[in-house]
A = this chain, B = another copy of it.
């Protein structure tokens, strides 16, 4: 039974590649989807498609509309969501995606460092499982196939 996993979270490093590599090593039949991970492309996609916008605000709004459409299409196709929070960024859209997953009934695994326990406590309490490393998240997914 193949499962589709949406990888929400920061796009400033390549943690998604680590996830995919681990899944391959464990030979798990997982199919991964997620947001646009080229940061510039993600920020500029609104103007790239719709043309120049009157200001930064409208440039952001145009980009986010297209990013949200992508997320909505792909998350609805998913069976599980992993949301990763790092220490550096505010990542409110990660919190938004994680909360949407819970409200839509998609099982949610949060990955976050120990330092973020306190600010993420309410979201963590809503998630099915909260872990600290990508390896642990994959262990949870692997458990489904045992």
A interface vs B, CB < 8 Å?
Answer: 1, 3, 31, 33, 36, 38, 41, 45, 48-50, 54-58, 60-61, 63-74, 76-77, 79-80, 85, 89-93, 95-100, 102-105, 107, 109, 117-126, 128-129, 131, 136, 139-140, 143-144, 146
| A99 cross-chain contacts in B, Cβ below 8 A | 95-100, 103
CA distance A104 to B76 in the complex (A): 12
Per the bound structure, the CA–CA distance linking A103 and B80 in Å amounts to 17
In the docked arrangement, what's the CA distance between A26 and B39, Å?
23
With a cutoff of 8 Å between Cβ atoms, the chain B residues found around residue A97 in the complex are: 99
Chain B residue at smallest Cβ distance from A4: B1
Please name 28 pairs of A and B residues whose Cβ atoms are closer than 8 Å in the assembled complex, sorted by A.
A41-B146, A49-B131, A50-B136, A54-B55, A56-B118, A58-B58, A60-B117, A60-B118, A61-B125, A64-B124, A66-B129, A68-B122, A68-B126, A68-B128, A69-B109, A69-B129, A70-B144, A72-B107, A73-B79, A76-B105, A85-B92, A90-B119, A91-B92, A92-B123, A93-B122, A95-B99, A96-B96, A96-B123
* Docked pose: A68 CA to B107 CA in angstroms: 9
Min CB–CB distance A89 → chain B (angstroms): 8
Contacts of A140 in B (CB 8 A): 49, 66, 69
Q: Using CB atoms, name the residue of chain B closest to A69.
A: B128
Shortest Cβ distance from A126 into chain B, in angstroms?
A: 6
